[in-house]
Amino acid sequence: MPKNSMEPASRRFIRRFCLLTALVAATLALAVGPRAEAASSDFKMYEGFKTLARIFYEINVKFVEEPDSTEMVNGAVRGMLNTLDPHSSYLTPEEMNEFQQETGGSFTGVGMELSVKDSVVTVVAPIDDTPAFRAGIMSGDQLVSIDDKSTLDMSVMEVVKLIRGPLGTKVTITVNRPSTKRVLTFTLTRDHIPLRSVRSEELTPGIGYIHISNFQADTAAEVEKAIRTLGATSPLEGLVLDLRNDPGGLLEQSIRVSGLFVGEVLVVETRGRFDEQNVDYNSDQTAVLPLNCPLVVLVNEGSASASEIVAGALQDYGRATILGAKTFGKGSVQSVVRLPDGSGLRLTTARFFTPSGRPIQSEGITPDVEVPSLLPRNYKPTREVDLERHLLGANEKNRRSGPAVAEVDESEGDEETDSPAMPDKPIREMTLAERLEYDKQLNQALEMLKKGQVRSGFNGVDPKRRHKAMG
């Protein structure tokens, strides 16, 4: 019998793992070496892999019980990514499949965009017309438990697994609302999220409305169809494009949607560490909405990523009036790599900049016309700058500044002011009069269009030259 057949399984694992880490270190050294200014960085990386291999060895031969090697590797990978920004993550094969379903718009849940703030899984924004939105879950709510299971030390993906489930089943979510110092419990019925990416309607004769809940594979085609349908009987005299509580989605779709309003121009730039990450993204779309048609874009604290790209581009070119509240400020690029075992690596590789060169990361998009969102008194929404390990924005000095702390008014207020007056039925089922009473941002956008207070200043000029000329 061969000698190594008697070798304990744990030692065989460690021997192979050490061999693998040495190989990976050498491979990375070759890949990174040409870019590195000093060879010492490659040596430090190799030494780090040696330390990692030694720790694996010690655990396998000395831990009180036989460890799960797969869980150990997954834990090590997650630990590496946890030192980076909040949007870089490791996806198991199951999570990778769920991620692909999300971008296709066909998953079942309650409708919340989640991230980590102050080491707690926190709601970035509820998606409009979803169970979470209708129940009154808000940006900044901290998830305490799911079906009585504590979320302490859970990752976002672990929480997502608990929230999702079969269509029509119920899930109970307990949240802490820091701004009001209240713990709230919601029992929600799971639904398809989102029901669809694009909704449209005529608000008044000649004035259309298009809402994008997120950017999926067919979003641009659906927006184009909506524009053509709204203008089928008579030319549009104005349009409201609603990007509120839109957490983003596919970059390519945000570029194509922008092109429907400005044509074949630069929409967004990315800038990273290396030249190949510095890319100008131009739309290949012909403008479908007439360039002289007044356009108002609605944004709020939940508008992030792809929706900020669209709002920033239309603002830079003077094509639209941006109305609402300052956006979330998620201006980083995530590249997703499928690994051989079906798992995936979601890694931040660059930052987004608007056509005029303005950074989106941590800065967000500031509206031309600010109309506050309907929020509880003393409520501080969560934005990118509040997330742990967020990438620097242009106005931030420290790479790892501590998490922002919400300022809370200690004075006691009326009970009614603790929560906003949320509608008691889905927005899409409300009459226009009911919506305008509840939705002050939409109300003002419509009034501005009716009164001719919105003008398109788009002339196709490079926004960088335009901004320099304006001083």
Active-site residues, by number, are: 305, 316, 330
Note whether 113 and 214 are within 8 A (CB).
no
CA-to-CA distance for 274 and 66, rounded, in angstroms?
Answer: 43
Strand partners, 350: 333
Note whether 419 and 258 are within 8 A (CB).
no
Token readout for 10 is: 């744990």
Strand partners, 352: 270
Parallel, antiparallel or unpaired: strands 170-177 and 149-150: unpaired
Note whether 140 and 382 are within 8 A (CB).
yes
Residue 226: closest CA among 205, 256, 202: 202
Q: Report the 10 Å Cβ neighbour count for 66.
A: 9
Name the strand (E) or helix (H) holding 99: helix 93-104
| Residue the block writes with tokens 């929706």 | 307
CA-to-CA distance for 115 and 112, rounded, in angstroms?
Answer: 10
Residue type, 327: T
Note whether 333 and 272 are within 8 A (CB).
yes
| Residue the block writes with tokens 């184009």 | 224
Start-to-end CA distance of the chain, whole Å, equals 83
Contacts of 129 by beta carbon, 8 Å cutoff, 6+ apart? 194, 195, 213, 426, 427, 428
Residue 174: closest CA among 161, 158, 186: 186
**How open is the CA angle 197-161-427, to the nearest 5 degrees?**
35
Note whether 154 and 115 are within 8 A (CB).
no
Token readout for 130 is: 């979803």
Token readout for 299 is: 């944004």
